[in-house]
Structure 1
Amino acid sequence: MSERYSRQILFSGIGEKGQHTLGEKHVLLIGAGALGSANAELLVRAGVGKLTIVDRDYVEESNLQRQQLYTEKDVEQKLPKAAAAKKHLEEINSDTEVKVHVIDATAQSLQPLVPDVDLIMDATDNFETRLILNDLSHKYNIPWIFGACVGSFGMSYTIIPGKTPCLNCLLRTIPLQGMTCETSGIIGPAVQMTVAYQSAEALKILTENRGALRETFVSFDLWSGQFQSIKTGRSKKEDCLTCGTAASYPFLQPENSTKTAVLCGRETVQVRPPNPVDLELERLGRDFSAMGYEVKANPYLVSAQKDAERIVVFKDGRALVHGTKDIVHAKSVYQRLMG
């Protein structure tokens, strides 16, 4: 066994057998931003056999404060995050096979990538994609690890099909949605702590130490010093459409994905959420203002503009992203600002 992993092998929870097993495993990582780049680096340094990364974005200067894998040169070259991650990860450990896909993570694009993986890692920034991962995990019986962070707050949960409640179940009992990094900012330590919880669970699964897995939903606020570890057993619902007795995997169906359409004759893309919502427009306007957008509002909509980017959001969650005909870009803007 390589000297590279000698200190990890000395850890009784892994040992030589665990290290060998880890080197045969394949992880699918969705997202190469803050959580994604840090998880990717930890897994590659640990010696995972194969890592597949999916991300649709490119490296920007504002990423460097918390996305530890990237450099100013990546920003100058406007490299896709997945491509930049591959470059740096292969310099860290050439023994790990790193494959990347610069694509939007949808039910259609992800489904072909899932069947031969041992673990799915969540490093996304929106719940639509996470619910797709949740369905894929259960359809193909592959564990996945949820993680999210914003401000000084973070949370993580490990989902094992057939054993734990799924994300769809948890959303009924634990308030998970709300702030985004765009509206509330984020500090690096919140990223690192979330990644620590995620990657530790990943190592347990990948070295086949499932008996050591944490069985609680963890959340914390590093700024206030608060910490919660919530038992989730009672959250599991028999009627859940993802993990229940009559599972139908609703988030893999095209009709349940965010709808987009380029408006005829205009550089504008309309984005609609899967289901109508009832937004608090006054609060949304304040959030946009805090992000440096020029905001105009009335009882029916909020219009926010910063530089060349302009988005108009209606009370039912529908939005018009102006200045583009690129559906993937418009969807990215929508999810970045709306969560």
Structure 2
Amino acid sequence: MSTRYSRQTLFPPIGKEGQEKISSKHVLIIGAGALGSGNAEVMTRAGVGKLTIIDRDYVEASNLQRQQLYTEQDVADKLPKAAAAEKRLRTINSDVEIVALIGDATPEKLAELAEGVDLILDSTDNFETRMAINDIAQKYKIPWIYGACVASFGMSFTVIPGVTPCLNCLLKTVPIQGLTCDTGGIIGPAVQMAIAHQTAEALKILVEDWEAVRASFVSFDLWRNQYTSMKMGRAKDPGCLSCGEHPEYPYLSAENMTKTTVLCGRDTVQIRPPHSEGVDLSDMAARLKALGYEVKGNPYLLSAEMDENRFVLFQDGRALIHGTKDLAQAKSIYNRLLG
């Protein structure tokens, strides 16, 4: 379609040469929720050459208020977000190579995905994963763009290895979760504003307009009409273990990985087995039905419910235990059912 990107190429900082660069680049998006679905749609419509998306969750009704790729049918089908995103994105732009992965963005998986990637967009909901993204980006010299939002608040920062401070420089340690979508809610415009900041920076990087890349940490509160831009050059730490003179990439080590995670904004614990050996979902469905569970499923997962207990089991052995934030209780349920 010769006119597909005509309005984008009319923008002088992109032009035809920039469009050719965009169409040759590979973008990796971590997370397919509010930020991830929006980032993925913008990148797909912009004509990026290859888009890889990884997400561990599935579509629920509460997602529809702000996660723009999904439909009520996706909720009814309990489709994994990565699969639902891929289905929708392919109808938007068939020229883009879409790779959707259903699973956890562990350090091992991120290292596996890093080859050939030109840019990473952070669309996750937890700092453990963000710090792993940060270390992977430093190790493999891949630019990445941090983004987050909750309530009416959002923020973004662009990390260029060897040039800007990294997230570890800014935070030093993984912060304890404060306000979440569960405790503070979230409005759609805050999501869209964070997406706008991330994707604008993404386009600058993809067309290699490095002078235009924002060097400041941006935060905003749309409800209180506040906008802050803080210069971060002095925050770069020569002794940083992620990007300093002698990097050790601490957030890629096994001791910094958890096997249980309370999902952001939800009474849900994810249990991740040490090894992803795969699960026979048909066999498991039969076993659970025999125990009295009401079981529904699709080729990607099964959902089981009995009384107050509800959980979702994926093919790779991961499980989402709903209705609790208690890690010990979630582990007990998982071990009782799966051994």
TM superposition shift of 1:176: 9.0
Residue 246 in structure 1 maps to residue 246 in structure 2: yes
CA distance in 1, matches of 2:39, 2:143: 16
Residue number in structure 2 paired with 1:182: 182
Q: Residue type matched to 1:76 in 2?
A: A
Residue number in structure 1 paired with 2:121: 121
Residue number in structure 1 paired with 2:103: 103
CA distance in 1, matches of 2:219, 2:270: 36
In the TM superposition, 1:166-177 aligns within 5 A as 166-172=166-172
TM superposition shift of 1:111: 1.0
TM superposition shift of 1:326: 7.6
The two structures have a TM-score, normalised by structure 2, of: 0.79
Counterpart contact for 1:156–1:218, Cα < 8 Å: yes
CA distance in 2, matches of 1:163, 1:145: 14
Residue number in structure 2 paired with 1:164: 164
Residue number in structure 1 paired with 2:330: 321
Counterpart contact for 2:148–2:155, Cα < 8 Å: yes
Counterpart contact for 1:27–1:52, Cα < 8 Å: yes
> CA offsets, 1:16-41, max 9 Å, x none?
00001100000000000000000000
Residue number in structure 2 paired with 1:41: 41
Tell me the secondary structure at the aligned position of residue 218 of structure 1.
strand
Task: Name stretches of at least 5 consecutive residues in structure 1 with no aligned partner.
Answer: 262-267, 272-305, 328-339
Residue 69 in structure 1 maps to residue 82 in structure 2: no
TM superposition shift of 1:171: 0.7
> CA offsets, 1:218-244, max 9 Å, x none?
000000001100011111111110001
Counterpart contact for 2:169–2:235, Cα < 8 Å: yes
Residue number in structure 1 paired with 2:231: 231
Tell me the secondary structure at the aligned position of residue 201 of structure 1.
helix
TM superposition shift of 1:320: 3.9
Residue number in structure 2 paired with 1:79: 79
Residue number in structure 1 paired with 2:20: 20
CA distance in 2, matches of 1:78, 1:259: 24
> CA offsets, 1:123-156, max 9 Å, x none?
0000000000000000000000000000000000
Tell me the secondary structure at the aligned position of residue 195 of structure 1.
helix
Counterpart contact for 1:54–1:105, Cα < 8 Å: yes
Counterpart contact for 1:150–1:186, Cα < 8 Å: yes
CA distance in 2, matches of 1:192, 1:77: 26
Q: Residue type matched to 1:60 in 2?
A: E
The two structures have a TM-score, normalised by structure 1, of: 0.79
Cα distance change of structure 1 residues 307 and 152 upon mapping to structure 2, 3 Å threshold: farther
Residue 193 in structure 1 maps to residue 223 in structure 2: no
> CA offsets, 1:156-208, max 9 Å, x none?
00000001000001114998952111221100000000000000000000111
TM superposition shift of 1:109: 1.6
Q: Residue type matched to 1:256 in 2?
A: N
Residue 32 in structure 1 maps to residue 32 in structure 2: yes
Give the alignment's Cα RMSD to 1 decimal. Answer: 2.4
Q: Which runs of 4+ in 1 moved over 3 A?
A: 172-177, 268-271, 306-313
Tell me the secondary structure at the aligned position of residue 98 of structure 1.
strand
CA distance in 1, matches of 2:226, 2:335: 42
Cα distance change of structure 1 residues 76 and 118 upon mapping to structure 2, 3 Å threshold: same
TM superposition shift of 1:311: 3.3
Residue number in structure 2 paired with 1:311: 324
Residue 88 in structure 1 maps to residue 101 in structure 2: no
CA distance in 2, matches of 1:174, 1:204: 29
CA distance in 1, matches of 2:221, 2:120: 25
Q: Residue type matched to 2:333 in 1?
A: T
Number of equivalent positions: 283
Task: Name stretches of at least 5 consecutive residues in structure 2 with no aligned partner.
Answer: 262-268, 273-306, 310-321
CA distance in 1, matches of 2:177, 2:11: 37
Sequence identity percentage: 60
Residue number in structure 2 paired with 1:56: 56
CA distance in 2, matches of 1:236, 1:243: 9
CA distance in 1, matches of 2:333, 2:174: 36
Counterpart contact for 1:269–1:326, Cα < 8 Å: no
Counterpart contact for 2:271–2:334, Cα < 8 Å: no
Q: Residue type matched to 2:41 in 1?
A: E
Tell me the secondary structure at the aligned position of residue 51 of structure 2.
strand
TM superposition shift of 1:211: 1.0
